[in-house]
Structure 1
Amino acid sequence: MGIHKMFVSRPCNLNGDAAVTGDDAGVTPGLLRTRRPLGMIESSFVSHASDARLPAPIARSPLNKLLTIVMPTYNMEAYLSGALDSILACKRADRVEALVVDDGSTDATPRVIATFEQKAPNVVRGVRKENGHYGSAVNRGIAEAAGDYVKVVDSDDWVDGDALDELLAFLESAGEVDLVLSDYVRVFEDCEEPVSVADIPPRKVLPFSDVRLRPCIMHAITYRRDVLRKSGLRLDEGILFTDDEYALFPMAWVSTLAYVPEPVYRYRLGRAEQSVSPENLERTLADNWQVTQAVMAWRRSLAARGVQPANLAYVNEKCAAIAYEHIRRRLLSSDAEQGRRVTRELEAFLTDDVGIAPADLERHVRFLRATGYAGWGVLAAYKKRRAKG
């Protein structure tokens, strides 16, 4: 699936340190140099024959779901079984709707989905649609979600069953809460990196205005379904990186939140075909810029929409994180002229719309300002050397 997995050039070094960039720079990593549990990560390969018949549809019990896990997928036959098995391992799986949105897969993904619908008909539900890329699959999942809460899990990632149980237990007892944050683990080829996403009292429903959050990424977020619909969220379709929109746009309308300090989400990094791999940086730059422009336009639209000050403060910080991430990508790209032009535009957005004083901009942007952008080549060369390790 073409998803926004943050660009990490050196995930874990020999000292146990990690290079954390992009949105993850706002969270607190606690490093564990442990080998990944292969049994939970790799799924069995489902053979595909053109004349094989899919299992027949079966009757389902009436839905009474606490949480819908929307799982967008495209040609993920090698990973999807592992993702679904991890949900079924949860003791409270009967309270979960695992809604798998197949974005027009051409491999054996439809057979995997059908097999799990037979295996767990009251948990797993598949929806097949024409290919429209990640945003369209998430949009469809939100529109069809039956749960009171919604969490997006990519089909090449998975969840920790025990941690998911803890999240569900909290959701059952908490009453209505607009946003629930939980921790996640960044999984590399040779090590794991747990990430703590908040420093607030755990398992307590709090007014959004009473806390100061670091910018969150999708993997930490569970929204109340009604908040998603109230926000009018509709992700851009046909492009990558729209998980930034998902993690940002509804935040303007969150009134209450809670934090469950359990590593629910297992976030796989390191596959060469991912949209954030170094090999794909140039290819995906236009999509990342399109989403960044959408974020800029959305932020400018908030002036007339009555967003509360605390929400606006969070929005500004998240918008800044997205802008800085795109600038970093431009510094690693080959088109210096376009990089300078786009970065000037983002600098104006950060100062004029987000309200960051020039002296408080990130240091690489301050350096470019101080040199009248003549220092682009030097800074870009430095960033590229760092990215290569």
Structure 2
Amino acid sequence: MKLLSITVPCYNSEKYMRKCIDSLLPGGEDVEILIVDDGSTDATAAIADEYAEKYPAIVKAIHKENGGHGSAVNTGIENAAGLYFKVVDSDDWVSDTAYGEILDKLTELTGGEEVLDMLIANYVYEKEGEKRKKVIRYRHVLPEDEIFTWNDVHRFHKGQYILMHSVIFRTKLLKDCGLKLPEHTFYVDNLFVFEPLPYVKKMYYMDVNFYRYYIGRADQSVNEKVMIGRIDQQLKVNKIMVDYVTAKKQFLATHKKLRNYMLNYLDIITTVSSIMLICSGTDENLEKKNELWKYIKQKDPFVFFRLRYGLLGSYTNLPGKGGRKISVEGYKLCQRFFKFN
């Protein structure tokens, strides 16, 4: 059995996928690289086949009809033979040194008395045009170099959330929890790292800069103009997260640190949705913002109160044009500070 399965979702990725795959090959035969060609129309399929032919013990090329990022991740999970599972997007890459350290740690922890559910490491914003790279790390929030539980986790700061880039899950956990990401939908990476959390019991944090998150291309899904154009997909993911927290209400009531983390993460996602709707400047999208908050209130008054009257909810619901202008300016300030979009 392989130690780690790494899924690389690819859609028309010919310009950058080689850098990604080349960064993963040093894992050797302990790793399987699943290149999922999601119905590409360029040379992606041929490049995937080239790597599979050259490295048959490491690389597997999977070709499928276009279903979107979530569909490609689902396919990766279904085909994964490794004990652990990681997603690396085709325009990102990993650090060679940190990669080796993580594989060594997974080997060490495998077969131990405690079953590891999730390993967390740092990620780096590789933002186009910026020499100074922002590192998202979890020092003083997560215990270092030891297995821990949610009870041992401290308070996360804004902008310090565990994203898809940070995590390696136990493969069987993903399969057992029934994770199934929506097809033809952007922003499902939030669901990938959100829905398994109630099933995660044992975690391990390594303070190494592993994942390199490339950001800044004009056509990227996290580009502000692109997000506004795809706002209905952002709202879809946002509402699925609300539904999920509501469905897990009874469980989360007895797991307060996990509940607080998940609600704070949902707070960030709802803030992004609200700000994008405000930034668009259309009456239609302002009504969608109102509808989103009504949806949350109808689903769960406690969740609504927590989001609406917390710092971010109050900030995104300031009244009138003046209030909306303040909200947008505040968002731009956060952009500069946290280095996102």
Partner of 1:261: 207
- For residue 127 of structure 1, the aligned residue among 49, 58, 62 is 62
1:203 has 2:140 as partner: no
Flag structure 1 segments of 5+ consecutive residues without an equivalent.
1-63
Q: Deviations over 1:280-316 (max 9, x none)?
A: 1321111101110111111111135577513323222
Q: CA deviation at 1:374?
A: 6.6
Q: TM-score, normalised by structure 2?
A: 0.86
Q: What are the superposed Cα offsets for residues 170-211 of structure 1, whole Å, 9 maximum, x if unpaired? A: 111113310110011110123222221343332211122222
**Matches for 1:148-227 after TM superposition, within 5 Å:** 148-175=83-110, 176-189=115-128, 190-191=130-131, 192-199=133-140, 200-212=142-154, 214=156, 215-227=161-173
Deviation, structure 1 residue 322:
1.4
State yes or no: 1:66 paired with 2:7: no
Question: Which residue, 341, 346, 353 being the options, matches 2:290?
Answer: 341
Letter aligned with residue 201 of structure 2:
S
Structure 1 runs (4+) greater than 6 angstroms displaced:
none
| 2:22 alignment counterpart | 85
- TM superposition score normalised by structure 1: 0.76
Q: Secondary structure at the match of 2:306?
A: coil
| SS across alignment from 1:259 | strand
What CA deviation, in whole Å up to 9, does each residue of 1:16-39 have, x standing for no partner?
xxxxxxxxxxxxxxxxxxxxxxxx
Higher relative contact order (CA 8 A, sep 6+): 1
Aligned residue in 1 for 2:303: 353
SS at the partner of 1:184? strand
1:276 positional shift: 1.5
Paired residue type of 1:334: G
**Cα distance between partner residues in 2 of 1:74 and 1:113:** 11
Structure of higher CA gyration radius: 1
Q: Could you tell me the percent identity over the aligned residues?
A: 28
Decide whether aligned partners of structure 1 residues 225 and 340 sit closer, same or farther in structure 2, where only a CA change above 3 A counts.
Answer: closer
- Report the Cα distance in structure 2 between the residues aligned to 1:273 and 1:187, rounded to whole angstroms: 16
| Higher helix proportion | 2
Give the letter for the 1:204 counterpart. Answer: E
The secondary structure found in structure 1 opposite 2:15 is helix
> For structure 2, which runs of at least 5 residues remain unmatched after alignment?
337-341
Q: Does the CA-based 8 Å contact 1:70-1:98 persist in structure 2?
A: yes
Question: How far did 1:388 drift?
Answer: 10
The answer for the alignment partner of 1:319 in structure 2 is: 266
